[in-house]
Amino acid sequence: MISFIKNLALEAGRLCLEGQKNLSLHDLEFKSEKDIVTETDKKVEAFLVKAILARYPDHGVLGEEYGAVQTKSGLRWIIDPIDGTTSFVHRLPFYSISIALEKEGEPVLGVVYAPALNQLFYAEKGKGAFVGDTAIHVSETRELDKAVMATGFACLRAGRQKNNLPIFNEIVPKLRDIRRFGSAALDLCYTALGSLDGFWEMNLNIYDIAAGTVILKEAGGVVTDFTGGGQFPEKGIAAANKALHNELVRILTGFHVL
């Protein structure tokens, strides 16, 4: 199953690269106060949904653009065709295709592909996490002042005046450094890889983080909401190696997620 999904992600990546090369700003659509969508988003998601349902017709699907197809199988694919559309539109490489399989409400398989970087991350529950053919593991950083973390902000800020800024101002002085890539799926994968030591964000959707959480957990990381519980992404997402996660949550617990 995972080989099939990995190959689908690679093919979807080719569609993204082709679409990015031919992108026109006239192709942009503003679907909400915080989201933009391109024709490539729609094309990639349609390709993935069609291929997955042809292979697994009794499975459900939840797509960022497609919406939800429910079944009684207990299995559902969660798809984000382009996580990081702003980067995609501006021809920056930090965007990804995110595909997860959820079983009875729990993500158990995740594939994240960054086509412009040619990085393919994947994991299955209980089988470890990989980039390409290489097994990956979270960092061993133990102190916040030695940690490099990532976060994000809503790409369109109208109506979101706070938009993570109070948390940002509280955490950043305690860290060694901060990064902002604009793709939650990649932030989770880079934390799994050990390139980042942690990641937090608010105002995300399940399709942003479903695949990445599988990959991070299989790489030895911890993923919770801002209070240390399991209600993510509704109550924010806090992800890090085990040593840093408690410190991150200790700070985040004091902030209310809108």
Query: Per-residue pLDDT tens for 51-78?
Result: 999 999 999 999 977 778 777 889 999 9
Catalytic residue among 80, 102, 124, 218: 80
What is the C-alpha separation between 178 and 167, in angstroms, rounded?
Answer: 13
102 is catalytic: no
Tens-place pLDDT, residues 4-18: 999 999 999 999 999
What is the C-alpha separation between 168 and 224, in angstroms, rounded?
Answer: 18
What is the C-alpha separation between 239 and 241, in angstroms, rounded?
Answer: 7
Say if residue 27 carries a ligand binding annotation. no
Say if residue 80 carries a ligand binding annotation. yes
Catalytic residue among 187, 208, 218, 225: 208
Catalytic residue among 78, 79, 82, 167: 82
83 is catalytic: yes
10 Å Cβ neighbour count for 34? 16
Say if residue 83 carries a ligand binding annotation. yes
The model's pTM is: 0.92
Catalytic residue among 38, 85, 151, 191: 85
85 is catalytic: yes
Say what the pLDDT of residue 33 is.
47
How far, in Å, are 28, 31, 88 from residue 156 at the CA level?
Answer: 13, 11, 15
Say if residue 64 carries a ligand binding annotation. yes
Say what the pLDDT of residue 142 is.
96
Residues β-bridged to residue 119: 114
Q: How many CA atoms lie within 13 A of 156 on its CB side?
A: 12
Structural domains in the chain? 1-135 (3.30.540.10), 144-254 (3.40.190.80)
3-state SS record for the chain: CHHHHHHHHHHHHHHHHHHHHCCCHHHCEECCCCCEECHHHHHHHHHHHHHHHHHCCCCEEEECCCEEECCCCCEEEEEEEEECHHHHHCCCCCCEEEEEEEECCEEEEEEEEECCCCEEEEEECCCCEEECCEECCCCCCCCHHHCEEECCCCCCCCCCCCCCHHHHHHHHHHCCEEECCCCHHHHHHHHHHCCCCEEEECCCCHHHHHHHHHHHHHCCCEEECCCCCCCCCCCCEEEECHHHHHHHHHHHCCCCCC
225 is catalytic: no
Catalytic residue among 41, 45, 64, 201: 64
Say what the pLDDT of residue 254 is.
82
Catalytic residue among 65, 83, 124, 201: 83
197 is catalytic: no
177 is catalytic: no
Q: Which residues of the chain have pLDDT under 50?
A: 33, 159
